[in-house]
């Protein structure tokens, strides 16, 4: 994909992640700073490559008329998964941690299924391996905090006794995943298991400092 097309797709994915709704090409044009016709033509080219899909929805401003909207496909999600940054600026990690903690603080306002679903929606938009792993850890922390009681206490104790950040992070996700897939619905459990598998693959590629940041997130949340 050309750099120009990637720019348009990148902006479309970012807008879609915020609203979870298909994007009108005129809105994309304003965000990128081009004419609506340039945006439309570019999206048609990207569509031919399989990265976006086109649909029609009722135009709220014109009764009886529909408008063309676009949404990223699974192929686009895979592209951005492969394009994730290998490094993440410190301020971006701080922002990620704040967002994860905000979601954890909202647990009392939604069911665990709703919370996990919301976090799963956030994960595909993460643009670095550390952010991706952070959201996987955050998702499992949310599940564990919801369980509370003896399960949380046992895992907290295991974390404290495990030496090394890498070993502790593997132990944490493996233990919590083993509990989660027995209690959530099959579809959600399969999606979580697939993402955790990707997390395990990425963990080995993180620097020692990045693994320390993840480990601190776990330990501080369970403190």
In this predicted structure, the answer to whether residue 182 has a pLDDT above a threshold of 80 is: no
Greater pLDDT, 90 or 94: 94
Cα torsion 191, 197, 200, 206 to 10°: value is: -70
Percent of the chain with pLDDT over 70: 88
Is residue 80 within 8 Å of 123, Cβ to Cβ?
Answer: no
Q: What is the pLDDT of residues 46-88, one digit of tens each?
A: 999 899 999 988 766 666 577 889 999 988 877 766 555 555 6
- Supply the pLDDT for residue 39: 92
pLDDT at 85: 56
**Would the pLDDT of 89 be above 70?**
no
Phi, then psi, of 124 in degrees rounded to 5: -60, -25
CB 173 within 8 A of CB 140: yes
Maximum separation of any 2 CA atoms in the chain, in Å: 65
- Specify the higher pLDDT residue, 128 or 135: 135
The residues near 81 (Cβ < 8 Å, ≥ 6 apart) are: 124, 132, 198
Q: pLDDT at residue 29 above 90?
A: yes
Q: What is the DSSP string of 113-149?
A: HHHHHHHHHHGGG--BHHHHHHHHHHHHHHHHHHH-H
Residue 24 pLDDT level (bands cut at 50, 70, 90): very high
Inform me whether the pLDDT recorded for 43 exceeds 90.
Answer: yes
Contact between residue 137 and residue 131 where contact means Cβ atoms under 8 Å apart: no
- Residue 144 pLDDT grade (very low, low, confident, very high; cuts 50, 70, 90): confident
0.85 exceeded by pTM: no
Q: Which of 103, 97, 215, 202 is nearest to 159 (CA)?
A: 215
What's the token pair of residue 77? 């999600």
pLDDT value for 193: 81
- Helix (H) or strand (E) run with residue 54 in it: strand 52-58
Confidence class of residue 160 from pLDDT cuts 50, 70 and 90?
confident
Query: Residue 19 — very low, low, confident or very high, per pLDDT cuts 50/70/90?
Result: confident
């Amino acid at each position: 994909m050309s750099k120009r097309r990637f720019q348009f797709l990148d902006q479309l994915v970012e807008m879609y992640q915020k609203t979870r709704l298909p994007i009108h090409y005129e809105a994309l044009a304003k965000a990128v700073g081009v004419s609506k016709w340039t945006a439309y033509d570019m999206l048609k080219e990207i569509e031919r490559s399989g990265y976006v899909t086109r649909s029609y929805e009722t135009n709220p401003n014109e009764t009886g008329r529909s408008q063309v909207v676009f949404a990223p496909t699974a192929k686009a999600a895979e592209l951005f998964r492969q394009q994730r940054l290998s490094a993440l600026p410190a301020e971006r990690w701080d922002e990620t941690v704040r967002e994860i903690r905000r979601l954890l603080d909202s647990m009392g306002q939604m069911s665990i299924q709703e919370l996990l679903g919301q976090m799963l929606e956030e994960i595909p938009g993460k643009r670095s391996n550390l952010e991706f792993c952070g959201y996987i850890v955050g998702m499992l922390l949310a599940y564990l905090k919801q369980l509370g009681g003896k399960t949380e206490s046992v895992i907290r104790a295991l974390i404290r006794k495990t030496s090394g950040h890498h070993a502790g992070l593997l132990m944490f996700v493996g233990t919590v995943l083993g509990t989660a897939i027995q209690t959530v619905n099959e579809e959600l459990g399969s999606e979580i298991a697939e993402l955790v598998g990707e997390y395990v693959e990425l963990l080995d590629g993180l620097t020692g400092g990045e693994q320390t940041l993840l480990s601190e997130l776990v330990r501080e949340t369970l403190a």
